[in-house]
Structure 1
Amino acid sequence: MQKRWVEKPQQHSEQVRNLSNSLNINSVLASLLVKRGIHSYQDAENFFCPDLARLYDPFLMRDMDKAVSRIISAFEKGEKILVYGDYDVDGTTAVTLVFSFLNELAPTYIDYYIPDRYDEGYGVSKKGIDHACSNSCSLIIALDCGIKANELVEYSNHKGIDFIIADHHTPGAVLPAAYAVLDPKRTDCNYPFSELSGCGIGFKLVHGLAIKLGLPLERIYRYLDLLAVSIAADMVPIIDENRILSFHGLKKLNSDPCPGLRALIDLRSGKTELSSTDLVFHIGPRINAAGRIKHAKAAVELLISTDPYRASELSKEIDIHNIERKTFDTQITEEALSMITENPEMKRRKTTVVFQPEWHKGVIGIVASRLIEKFYRPTIVLTQSNGLITGSARSVFGFDLYTALSQCSELFEQFGGHKYAAGLTMKADNVAALQERFEQVVAATIPDVLLTPELMIDEELCLADIDGKFFRILNRFSPFGQENELPVFLSRNVRVAESPRVVGKNHLKICVSQGGSAVYDGIGFGLSHLGSLVTRGSSIDICYTLEENNWRGVRRIQLNIKDIRLAEELVSST
Structure 2
Amino acid sequence: MATLSDAGNIDYRSQTETRWTFKTPPDQASSENLAAALGVSPSIAGLLVQRGITSFEEARLFFRPQWEHLHDPFLMKDMETAVTRIQEALNAGERILVYGDYDVDGTTSVALMTTFLRARDAEVAYYIPDRYKEGYGLSMSGIDFAEDNGFTLIIALDCGIKALEQSAYASAKAIDLIICDHHRPGPELPLADAILNPKREDCKYPYKELCGCGVGFKLIQALQRHMGLPETLLYPYLDLVAVAIGADIVPITGENRILAKLGLEVVNNNPRPGIAALLDDQRAGNLGISDLVFRIAPRINAAGRMEHGELAVDLLIEANPNRARQLAQGIEQLNTERREADGRITDEALAQIQATGAREHTTTVVFNPDWHKGVIGIVASRLMETYYRPTLVFTKSGDKLAASARSVRGFDIYQALEQCSDYLEQFGGHTYAAGLTLHPDQYEGFKAHFETVVSRSISPELLHPEVQIDAVLPLEAISPKLLRILDQFAPFGPGNPRPVFFTAGLRDTGYAQTVGADGNHLKFQVTTESGQPRYGAIGFGQGEALPIVRGAVPFELAYSLEENRWNGRSEIQLKVKGIRNTPAT
> TM-score higher than 0.5 here?
yes
Partner of 2:5: none
Select the residue among 97, 104, 121 that pairs with 2:119.
104
Match of 1:198 in 2: 212
Q: Which residue of 1 aligns with 2:145?
A: 131
Cα gap change, 1:513 to 1:27, in 2 (>3 Å): farther
Structure 1 residue 536: Cα displacement: 6.5
**Which among 298, 304, 316 is matched to residue 317 of structure 2?**
304
User: Counterpart of 1:414?
Assistant: 426
Specify the code of the residue in structure 2 equivalent to 1:163. L
State the partner residue of 2:30.
15
- For residue 265 of structure 2, the aligned residue among 236, 242, 251 is 251
- Tell whether the 8 Å contact from 1:496 to 1:537 is kept in structure 2 after alignment: no
How far the C-alpha of 1:145 sits from its partner, in A, is 0.1
Q: Which residue of 2 aligns with 1:50?
A: 65
Kindly indicate whether the alpha-carbon contact (under 8 Å) linking 1:496 and 1:538 is maintained by their aligned counterparts in 2: no
- After superposing the two structures, state which structure 1 stretch, 491-500 or 123-132, moved more: 491-500
Given that residues 497 and 536 in structure 1 are in contact (C-alpha distance below 8 angstroms), is that contact kept between their aligned partners in structure 2? no
The aligned counterpart of 2:340 is 327
Task: Summarize the alignment of residues 215-230 of structure 1 with structure 2, pairs less than 5 Å apart.
Answer: 215-230=229-244
Q: 312-321 or 22-31, which moves further after superposition?
A: 22-31
Structure 1 CA distance for aligned equivalents of residues 231 and 356 of structure 2: 58
How far does the alpha carbon of each residue in 1:369-421 deviate from its partner, in whole angstroms, 9 at most, with x for none?
Answer: 10011111101000001111010001111111011111111111100111111
1:499·1:536 contact (CA, 8 Å) conserved in 2?
no
CA distance in 1: counterparts of 2:43 and 2:555, whole angstroms: 21
- Aligned position for 1:467: 479
Tell me the SS of whatever aligns to 1:156. Answer: helix
Q: Partner of 2:175 in structure 1? A: 161
Distance 2:204 2:495 in 1: 22
Partner of 1:174: 188
SS at match of 2:329: helix
1:314-367 deviations in Å (ceiling 9; x for gaps): 0010011111000110000000000111123x1211001111000000000110
Answer yes or no: is 1:531 the counterpart of 2:546: yes
Structure 1 partner of 2:197: 183
Match for 1:335: what amino acid? E
Q: Which residue of 1 is the match for residue 12 of structure 2?
A: none
**Superposed displacement of residue 224, structure 1:** 0.3
Partners of 2:268 and 2:284 within 8 A in 1: no
1:79 to 2:91 alignment = no
Counterparts of 1:330 and 1:122 in 2: how far apart (Å)? 24
In structure 2, give the amino acid aligned to 1:91. Answer: G
In structure 2, what is the equivalent of residue 368 of structure 1? 380
Equivalent position of 1:277 in the other structure:
290
Summarize the Cα distance change of 1:537–1:471 in structure 2 as closer, same or farther, 3 Å threshold. Answer: farther
For the 8 Å contact 2:22–2:468, the answer to whether it is kept is: yes
Aligned counterparts of 2:120 and 2:138: Cα–Cα separation in 1: 25
User: 5+ residue gaps in structure 1?
Assistant: none
Q: Contact 2:102/2:301 (CA < 8 Å) preserved in 1?
A: yes
Asked if structure 1 preserves the Cα contact closer than 8 Å seen for 2:268 and 2:285, the reply is: no
Q: Which residue identity lines up with residue 147 of structure 2 in the other structure? A: C
Q: Per-residue displacement from partner, 1:41-88 (whole Å, max 9, x unpaired)?
A: 221111100011010000000000000000000011111100000000
Is the contact made by 1:237 and 1:481 (CA closer than 8 Å) also made in structure 2? yes
Per-residue CA deviation, residues 500-545 of structure 1 (Å, 9 max, x unaligned), is: 1111232111111236642000011111101111126641110011
Q: 1:28 aligns with which of 35, 43, 49?
A: 43
Call closer, same or farther: CA 1:455–1:249 in 2, change over 3 Å.
same
Q: 1:307 to 1:74 in 2, by over 3 A?
A: same
**1:209 aligns to what?**
223
Between stretches 27-36 and 473-482, larger displacement belongs to: 27-36
| Preserved CA contact (<8 Å) 1:11 1:35 | yes
- The 8 Å contact of residues 354 and 382 in structure 1, kept in 2 or not, is answered as yes
Counterparts of 1:261-410 in structure 2 under 5 Å? 261-266=275-280, 271=284, 273-344=286-357, 346-410=358-422
Does structure 2 conserve the Cα–Cα contact (< 8 Å) formed by 1:96 and 1:300? yes
Question: Residue 494 of structure 1 aligns to a residue in which SS?
Answer: strand
Partner Cα separation in structure 2 for residue 185 and residue 536 of structure 1: 52
**2-side partners of 1:183 and 1:42: how far apart?**
29
Distance 2:271 2:302 in 1: 20
Aligned to 1:141: 155
3-state SS of the aligned residue for 1:110? strand
Counterpart of 1:3?
A: 18
Corresponding residue number in structure 2 for 1:94:
109
- The answer to whether the 8 A contact 2:77-2:204 is kept is yes
> Shift of residue 495 of structure 1?
2.3
Contact 2:17 2:465 in 1 (8 A): yes
Q: 1:6 & 1:289 partners in 2: Cα distance?
A: 36
Q: What SS is found at the alignment partner of 1:526?
A: coil
Instruction: Kindly state the Cα deviation for residue 229 of structure 1 after the two structures are TM-superposed.
Output: 0.2
What is the aligned partner in structure 2 of residue 498 from structure 1?
510
Which amino acid is 1:388 matched to? K
Conservation of the 8 A alpha-carbon contact between 1:26 and 1:470? no
| CA apart distance, 1:436 | 0.7
Conservation of the 8 A alpha-carbon contact between 1:289 and 1:318: yes
> In 1, distance between residues paired with 2:72 and 2:284?
37
Counterpart Cα distance in 2 of 1:440 and 1:238:
33
Question: Contact conserved, 2:406 with 2:432, CA < 8 A, in 1?
Answer: yes
| Aligned with 1:64 (options 76, 79, 88) | 79
Kept after mapping to 2: 8 A contact 1:462/1:514 = no
CA distance in 2, matches of 1:463, 1:248: 34
SS at match of 2:381: helix
Q: Is the CA contact 1:498–1:536 (under 8 Å) kept in the aligned structure 2?
A: no
Cα offset, 1:435, TM superposition: 1.4
Q: CA deviation at 1:92?
A: 0.3
* SS, match of residue 354 in structure 1: strand
Q: Residues 269 and 285 of structure 2 are in contact (CA less than 8 Å); yes or no, is this contact kept in structure 1?
A: no
Whichever residue aligns with residue 312 of structure 2, its letter is A
Contact 1:389/1:427 (8 A) holds in 2: yes
For residues 551 and 353 of structure 2, the distance between their equivalents in structure 1, rounded to whole angstroms, comes to 38
Q: How many residues align?
A: 567
State the SS of the aligned residue for 1:123. coil
Identity %: 50
Letter in 2 for 1:448: P
Deviations 1:424-446 (A, max 9, x none): 01111111112111111111111
Structure 1 counterpart of 2:582, from 548, 552, 567: 567
Aligned residue identity for 2:337: E
Distance 2:361 2:262 in 1: 45
Instruction: Tell me by how many angstroms 1:22 deviates.
Output: 2.3
Which residue does the alignment assign to 1:477?
A: 489
- Picking from 439, 444, 460, the partner of 1:432 is 444
Give me the whole-angstrom Cα distance separating, in 2, the residues matched to 1:29 and 1:232: 25
Paired residue secondary structure (1:370): helix
